[in-house]
Structure 1
Amino acid sequence: MAYADHLRRYFPAVRGVTYLNTAYAGALPEAAASAMQTVYAQACAEGRLEPVHTSRLAVVRQQVREQLAHLFHTSADRIALTMGTAHGLGLVLWGSPLQAGDEVLYAGLGDADALLPLYAFAQRRGVVVRTLSGNLDGEALLAQAGANITPRTRAMICAHVAHQSGRRMPVEALAEVCRARGVLLIVDGAYGAGADPIALEESGIPIYVLDGRRWLCGPFGVGAVVVHPDVWSVLQPAWTGEPALADPSALDAWGSFLLAPDARRFELAWGDPAQWTGWLESLRFLRGQAGWDLVFTRVRGLSGQAMEGLLDLPHVRVLTPRDARAGMLVLEAAGREAAAWAEDARAHGIEVGISPDGRSLRISFGLYNHEDDVERFVKWLEQARA
């Protein structure tokens, strides 16, 4: 508790507001913001000279891969860096061998960053998308998935944590089902990465797509895809750029090129050095200053405390199951539209989220939250009913 309070001081954004919206974007630690400012100041003072710029950026990006490899219990050579969920999922879909008439199962009730790339791809390729319920418990979802896999099913996309319900999905068990049936599983980790522990090496999940801006406390525009080596020969780089090359000289004017021997072959662009430097510092802070075990413990503990308080409010219905929660709770409060509740919360210094369909409130917790934040939210929700 005392150490958690100490760590909270490194996140200026939570000092003046009760911040319960990590599911939209995590707070930046001071170290990340300072590192980004240093990069811009350096570029302004020295110019952006190609050899220095490229070499520095390559080092930072590799260090980001190593931090992510530690978090997800995998190796850095399996990680391709992206600009976020939509980019990562699009990279996978357009690089896949899916053809007209092939089926993709989708489970998890995702947001636009997951749904739009899938449906746009399906429309262009003639792929059939079949949706599974994201509100079933683990055993029921596994049964539904098994029953809906047909000889035409080639892939399944499932959220690590469902956006509309906050349910932690049984992705490890789904990996076993898909592997036994010859179906490629793609896990959307947008709302699970950094909030809920997952060991990709042990899980057998072949592709895991993640966004860096939420529980991983990165700036906007950073993310990654973790791709198992068994899939490297199945996916073809759909969008390629210089980072995908084995080295800068591995391309000639006649069209001969050599791609990187690992997951870097799927990368498109270098991106802004400040973004990657900022994310690296956030990952270092979460691992070194806090420790991932503490992060996961705090996030789950706070969500549990909030659930206990909310269940005592007669006008509130919590949609997230207690035994399958992670860092986000989704709830409905009677008497007002969700947007009106959120506006009133903001007027009282409490920042919350709203579900994409506009029907539900969403509260989400980070390392930097405190038990007092939970009590303040529950008390406001109780009093605001009057």
Structure 2
Amino acid sequence: MLTAESRRRDFPTLEGKSYLNTAAEGVPPLAVGEALQQYFRDKQLGMDGRIPHAAQWEAAKALTAEFFELTPAEIGICSCSSEAYNLAALALQLKPGDEVVVTDLDFPASSTPWLQPSCPATTRVWRHRNGALRIEDLVPLLSAKTRLVTVSLVSFYSGFQVALPPIVEAVRKHSPALLAVDVTQALGRVPLDLAGADLIVSSTHKWILASHGGGLVGVPKERAAEWTAPAGGWFNLEDAFGPSSFETVKSKPGAASFMVGMPNYPALYAIRAALEYIRGVGVAKIDAHARPLIEHCLAELKKLPVELLTPNEPESVAGILVFKHPKAAALQARLHAANIHVMNPAGRIRVAIHGYNTAGDIEKLLKELKAALAAVG
């Protein structure tokens, strides 16, 4: 991943391609494909296949626990981050008068459960300034009524990386709220320090380079009671088939309550393989490799006739750079024609730089982007 040889070996489809779209879809290493093939072989065993399936499930939870700095018992794995947040909404059991704080830099998965008409709480929005969230704008939103503050460690929209300790301090000082942190755009790309987070959520098909169909959930044991989802199911229940199963049910506490049904075993095989791969390379090494590329790209983008949405603060940038241009669609089309893959969500160009990217990818992007800007006027 960090050398030309390992890139060719582990990511053969990247040969000749400048893939800068990991914030939308990660490119899995071949080890993930091998894990999915192993799932198929195990599935062919029928019921006996559940034994290796369960081993993969436990391994995936243990690896996730390492990255979240929790224990395997504090990890749940559901189908996606959207499911995780909807189950979190069930767990909170909000009432009229309660308040939830979301940010306008968050992905819809973490903000929309609290905006549905069925949610009785009042939602307050922590709004960004020039692509960045400021603590002084959060504090006035906090009160004794605040039940939840939810934030993305790295914004999909602007690429801004929050400093978590000041948020934890503000939330604890000014409210009794729980703090939920979405690490989808950070996990596998930057080292994590999640001390103080009461709920941790991540998708699996982006920076950790696994498959779709996974939602990683971390609930510290001291917060298990607050984050126990009263959902129907069976994997999440204490005794789903007991003598009183048609009279009363009880959810397992904390993270286990987020695993409501039969696990998505193919995704678990992929998650296990991907996290093992990322761990083998080392997140610190990935960050040390990619950060200079990010900083160079940011410095060069500042010289171009585009509107930067990413704050000009290199210490607050992880793997994503975003800018606007009136002809963003035409720019993306020209870049794609040059085999440069970026994202164009709603008039924005988003560049995502991971450990499999090279200095050559960035130079090619900048060269072709300058030519495209000149061409579209």
Unaligned runs of 5+ in 2: none
Give the match for residue 359 of structure 1: 347
Write out aligned runs for 1:296-311 (5 A). 296-311=287-302
- Whether 1:115 aligns to 2:114 is no
Letter in 2 for 1:368: Y
Whether the 8 Å contact between 1:338 and 1:359 is mirrored in structure 2 is yes
* Cα deviation 1:51-70 (Å, max 9, x = unaligned): x2333222211111111111
The aligned runs of 1:1-386 (5 Å cut-off) are: 3-9=2-8, 10-43=10-43, 45-46=44-45, 48-49=46-47, 52-120=48-116, 123-135=117-129, 141-180=134-173, 181-200=175-194, 203-246=195-238, 253-255=245-247, 259-260=251-252, 263-288=255-280, 290-313=281-304, 315-321=305-311, 322-333=314-325, 336-355=326-345, 358-386=346-374
Determine the C-alpha separation between the residues in 2 that align with 1:233 and 1:150. Answer: 22
Shift of 1:369: 0.9
- Residues 95-126 of structure 1: CA deviation (Å, up to 9, x unaligned): 11311221111125222323333322xx2032
Q: Is the 8 Å Cα contact of residues 97 and 121 (structure 2) preserved in structure 1? A: yes
Q: Which moved more, 1:100-109 or 1:324-333?
A: 100-109
For 1:184 and 1:74, how far apart are their aligned partners in 2? 17
The alpha-carbon distance between structure 1 residues 75 and 108, as it changes in their structure 2 partners (threshold 3 A), is farther
Task: Quickly say closer, same or farther: Cα 1:269–1:17, change in 2 above 3 A.
Answer: farther
SS at match of 2:115: helix
Equivalent AA in structure 1 for residue 169 of structure 2: E
Q: Which amino acid aligns with 2:332?
A: A
Structure 1 residues 121-141: Cα deviation after superposition (integer angstroms, max 9, x where no partner): xx2032111111123687x72
Unaligned runs of 5+ in 1: none
TM-score by length of 2: 0.90
The residue identity in structure 2 corresponding to 1:265 is S
Cα 1:376–1:136 shift into 2, 3 Å: closer
User: Does the CA-based 8 Å contact 1:97-1:235 persist in structure 2?
Assistant: no
Cα distance in 1 between the residues matched to 2:200 and 2:350? 24
Q: Deviations over 1:301-352 (max 9, x none)?
A: 3211211222232x1233212231001011124xx42222212211111110
Give the C-alpha shift of residue 245 in structure 1: 3.8
Distance 1:204 1:114 in 2: 18
Q: Deviations over 1:162-190 (max 9, x none)?
A: 22211111222111211222111111222
> Post-superposition shift, 1:256?
5.4
CA 1:254–1:97: 2 relative to 1, 3 Å: closer
Distance in 2 separating the partners of 1:258 and 1:89:
20
Q: Name the SS of the counterpart of 1:374 in structure 2.
A: helix
Amino acid at match of 2:333: E
1:70-113 Cα distance to aligned partner (Å, 9 max, x none): 12222221111122221111111121131122111112522232
Contact conserved, 2:98 with 2:146, CA < 8 A, in 1? yes
C-alpha root-mean-square deviation of aligned residues, in Å? 2.3
Distance 2:154 2:106 in 1: 9
- Confirm or deny: 8 A CA contact 1:66 1:76 kept in the other structure: yes
Q: Is this contact kept in 1: 2:23–2:352, CA < 8 A?
A: yes
CA distance in 2, matches of 1:251, 1:277: 34
Structure 2 CA distance for aligned equivalents of residues 80 and 281 of structure 1: 17
Contact 2:228 2:255 in 1 (8 A): no
Matched to 2:210, the amino acid is: G
Which residue type is aligned with residue 380 of structure 1?
A: E
Q: 3-state DSSP class of the match of 1:125? A: coil
2-structure distance, mates of 1:170, 1:108: 17
Report the AA paired with residue 341 of structure 1. L
CA contact (8 A) 1:7 1:368 kept: no
Q: 1:119 to 1:376 in 2, by over 3 A?
A: same
Q: Answer yes or no: is the 8 Å Cα contact 2:190–2:284 preserved in 1.
A: no
Q: One-letter code of the match for 1:353?
A: M
CA change 1:36–1:119 in 2 (3 A) is same
Cα separation, 2, equivalents of 1:248 and 1:102 = 32
Q: CA deviation at 1:13?
A: 3.0
Are the structure 2 counterparts of residues 285 and 238 from structure 1 closer, same or farther at C-alpha, using a change threshold of 3 Å?
same
